[in-house]
């Protein structure tokens, strides 16, 4: 650290110079995060000093967090449930698996080698979670539609199983597992069913309202015990804002750590000091946009996705699968080289090799028809070079 501090104007200038080197959103076609809503940014900055780890001081901020959890539970069809705001999908999935393990322990069915049934496309955050919690994954291969098959899932449940994880909006393909089929086959087996809707949680409810044919994935489905939903993805809130929600009013308390400070309430999250700014920014967006606002954003999102799909097909590209949500995957030989060329020209896309070489394009709020019109010639050029 320097001995004498620099002028604020100098520090500002240096930070601005680094930020200017970040890729502008309208060239980003690989991210499931997007530019936060301006009201979220404004209110998060207003609450930058708040800490949800100390709710004796930040009691007003805590009320906002409670209200956000209530609004999210209501969105997912379970006003009587419980939950917490966390740093993102990874922490939410970690807490859900901790609760699943503790539930198995309480039911006397925790064995020496606890297992979790997951699909082959489950998010890699679970690799971290399983490593940290000593859980063993039992992997079900996805079907031809890249979905976790309900019957195969049920067959994998055994004496060691503590949880099943389904995904509502995979980050790689935007595929929604048939949670409405998986729920009933898991229900009654004494096993926790978690739905990772980190990506799809803020799209699927509104897309269904708009008439898109997507499976129900929330607490209205029999058997669903917990859900991850991330406001810092399609919820337009500032990073870091995730949420983990539970069916039962007491379930969030199954992971509960007492502080040694008198009067400090127990923690149900991994982080101790937690940003109140995140709760405030989520609250601002939910209240300001309401269901109508999110439906409008989702409608536009699906229109731009359709425009991208039609434009790609018209230009002769073959899609890997028909997109269910807003992620478009294109079969493309030499995808990794083309992605590098695109990056050298300012465009960020991602690629995958899992099912042959593919290019993955994500249509979030910052991706417009104009973005698509500018991107396609750049892609065609990169394919020729
Ligand atoms: N689960 C899914 C389905 C995701 O798409 C992601 C992130 O992309 C995560 C979990 C992890 O979320 P985070 O990066 O916020 O920890």
DSSP assignment letter at 319: E
The atom of ligand 1 lying closest to the CA of 170 is 3
Average pLDDT, the chain: 96
What confidence category does residue 259 fall into, taking pLDDT thresholds of 50, 70 and 90? confident
* pLDDT over 90 percentage in the chain: 94
Task: Name the token pair of 340.
Answer: 């590098």
What confidence category does residue 263 fall into, taking pLDDT thresholds of 50, 70 and 90? confident
Task: Name the token pair of 91.
Answer: 């922490």
**Predicted confidence (pLDDT) per residue in 72-100, tens digit:** 999 999 999 999 999 999 999 999 999 99
The atom of ligand 1 lying closest to the CA of 197 is 3
**Predicted confidence (pLDDT) per residue in 124-172, tens digit:** 999 999 999 999 999 999 999 999 999 999 999 999 999 999 999 999 9
**Which pLDDT belongs to residue 356?**
82
Which residues form the pocket of ligand 1, taking CB atoms under 6 Å from any ligand atom? 32, 88-90, 93, 123, 125, 167, 171, 196, 198-199, 230, 242
The atom of ligand 1 lying closest to the CA of 91 is 16
Among the residue ranges 219-223, 262-266, 275-279, 315-319, the one predicted with the least confidence is 262-266
Whether the predicted pLDDT of 264 surpasses 90: no
What confidence category does residue 244 fall into, taking pLDDT thresholds of 50, 70 and 90? very high
The predicted model scores a pTM of 0.96
What confidence category does residue 266 fall into, taking pLDDT thresholds of 50, 70 and 90? confident
**Which pLDDT belongs to residue 234?**
92
Helix segments in 210-330, DSSP class H: 276-314
156 by Cβ neighbours in 10 Å (0-12 / 13-18 / 19+) ranks as: middle
Q: How far is CA 203 from CA 286, 348, 382, in A?
A: 14, 23, 32
What confidence category does residue 315 fall into, taking pLDDT thresholds of 50, 70 and 90? very high
The atom of ligand 1 lying closest to the CA of 200 is 3
DSSP string, 16-38: HHHHHTSPPGGGB-S-S--PPPH
Whether the predicted pLDDT of 24 surpasses 90: yes
What confidence category does residue 200 fall into, taking pLDDT thresholds of 50, 70 and 90? very high
pLDDT, mean of residues 369-378: 98
Q: Whose CA is nearest to atom 12 of ligand 1?
A: 89
Instruction: For ligand 1, pick from 36, 91, 95, 125 the residue to mutate: most ligand atoms within 8 Å of CB.
Output: 125
Whether the predicted pLDDT of 348 surpasses 90: yes
């Amino acid at each position: 650290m320097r001995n004498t501090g620099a002028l604020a104007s100098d520090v500002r200038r240096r930070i601005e110079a680094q930020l200017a080197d970040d890729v502008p959103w309208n060239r980003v076609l690989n991210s499931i995060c997007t530019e936060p809503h301006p009201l979220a940014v404004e209110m998060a900055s207003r609450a930058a000093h708040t800490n949800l780890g100390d709710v004796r001081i930040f009691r007003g901020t805590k009320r906002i967090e409670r209200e956000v959890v209530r609004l999210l539970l209501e969105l997912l069809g379970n006003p009587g449930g419980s939950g917490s705001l966390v740093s993102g999908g990874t922490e939410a999935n970690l807490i859900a698996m901790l609760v699943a393990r503790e539930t198995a322990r309480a039911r006397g069915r925790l064995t020496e080698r606890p297992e979790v049934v997951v699909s082959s496309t489950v998010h890699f955050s679970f690799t971290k979670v399983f490593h940290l919690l000593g859980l063993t994954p039992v992997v079900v291969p996805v079907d031809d539609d890249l979905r976790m098959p309900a019957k195969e899932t049920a067959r994998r449940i055994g004496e060691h199983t503590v949880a099943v994880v389904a995904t509502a909006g995979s980050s790689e393909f935007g595929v929604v597992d048939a949670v409405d089929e998986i729920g009933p086959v898991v229900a009654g087996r004494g096993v926790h069913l978690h739905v990772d809707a980190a990506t799809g949680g803020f799209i699927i409810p509104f897309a269904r309202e708009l008439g898109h044919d997507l499976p129900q994935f929330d607490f209205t489905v029999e058997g669903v015990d917990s859900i991850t939903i991330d406001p810092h993805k399609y919820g337009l809130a500032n990073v870091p804002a995730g949420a983990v929600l539970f069916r039962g009013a007491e379930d969030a308390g199954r992971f509960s750590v007492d502080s040694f400070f008198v009067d400090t309430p127990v923690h149900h999250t991994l982080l101790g000091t937690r940003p109140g700014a995140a709760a405030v920014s989520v609250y601002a967006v939910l209240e300001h946009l309401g269901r109508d606002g999110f439906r409008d954003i989702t409608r536009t999102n699906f229109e731009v996705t359709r425009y991208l799909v039609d434009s790609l097909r018209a230009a002769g590209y073959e899609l890997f699968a028909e997109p269910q949500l807003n992620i478009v995957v294109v079969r493309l030989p030499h995808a990794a080289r083309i992605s590098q060329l695109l990056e050298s020209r300012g465009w960020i896309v991602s690629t995958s090799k899992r099912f042959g070489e593919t290019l993955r394009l994500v249509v979030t709020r910052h991706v417009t028809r104009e973005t698509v019109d500018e991107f396609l010639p750049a892609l065609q050029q990169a394919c020729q070079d």
